[in-house]
C-alpha cells in the first residue's frame, strides 16, 4: 500500500502504551497538531522559528524525500520526528525535529520514533547514510550509529549511520 509520499507505507507500530504512525500529509488536522507540537517543544526561535518549522511540514518534491512519524498516547499526539533528504545524489538523509512531550518521556517513545524512521528509510532506499545531531548519543550508538565529532558541540553529538 502506498503512503502519502508515494512510497510504500509502513504498518503502524503499536506498543502497549503508545502507537507510532506515519504522518499523512493529507490529514491537515494531524499535520497542524504535529507542527504545533514541534513548535511548542523547540524553545530556540533563532534556530527553529515557527515559520521555519512550518515550512518543514509539507511533502518534498521528487527526488527529495521528507516524512514525519508521530506518536499517539491516550488519544493525543505526544511525539513527532522527521526525516528529510540532505543530498539525494549520495542518498544522505537527516533525522530532525524530534520531540516527545515532557510528560511522555522515559517510555521508549523517542526510541521507537527513531526506529520507525530508520525502517522507513531502509524500505524506501536500498542504501544510504543518515545524520542526526542529538543529546542522546547512547540511544543512537545502540541503533548502530557512530559518533562523528570528538567532543560534544553545544551539548550535542553528531551521529552517522550507513546502511
pLDDT tens digits for 3-49? 545 566 666 776 679 999 999 999 999 999 999 999 998 867 677 88
Q: pTM here?
A: 0.88
| 147 grid coordinates | 559518533
108 pLDDT exceeds 90? yes
Q: Is 77 helix (H, G, I), strand (E, B) or coil?
A: strand
- Is 3 a member of any domain? no
- Is 115 a member of any domain? yes
- Is 83 a member of any domain? yes
pLDDT band at 152 (very low <50, low <70, confident <90, very high): confident
Q: What percent of the chain is predicted at pLDDT more than 90?
A: 73
- Is 6 a member of any domain? no
Residues with Cβ within 8 Å of residue 67, at least 6 apart in sequence: 3, 5, 7, 22, 23, 82, 83, 84, 117, 120
Looking at the 3D structure of the chain, how many domains does it have?
1
- Is 68 a member of any domain? yes
Amino acid at each position: 500500500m502506498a503512503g502519502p509520499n508515494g512510497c510504500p507505507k509502513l504498518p503502524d507500530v503499536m506498543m502497549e502504551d503508545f502507537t507510532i504512525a506515519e504522518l499523512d500529509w493529507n490529514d491537515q488536522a494531524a499535520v497542524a497538531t504535529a507542527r504545533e507540537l514541534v513548535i511548542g517543544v523547540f524553545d530556540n526561535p533563532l534556530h527553529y522559528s515557527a515559520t521555519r518549522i512550518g515550512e518543514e511540514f509539507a511533502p518534498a518534491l521528487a527526488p527529495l524525500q521528507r516524512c514525519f512519524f508521530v506518536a499517539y498516547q491516550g488519544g493525543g499526539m505526544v511525539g513527532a520526528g522527521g526525516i528529510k533528504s540532505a543530498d539525494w545524489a549520495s542518498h544522505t538523509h537527516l533525522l530532525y525535529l524530534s520531540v516527545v512531550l515532557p510528560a511522555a518521556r522515559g517510555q521508549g517513545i523517542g526510541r521507537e520514533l527513531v526506529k520507525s524512521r530508520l525502517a522507513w528509510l531502509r524500505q524506501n532506499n536500498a542504501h544510504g547514510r543518515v545524520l542526526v545531531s542529538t543529546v542522546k548519543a547512547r540511544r543512537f550508538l545502540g541503533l548502530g550509529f557512530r559518533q562523528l565529532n570528538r567532543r560534544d558541540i553545544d551539548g550535542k553529538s553528531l551521529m552517522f549511520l550507513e546502511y
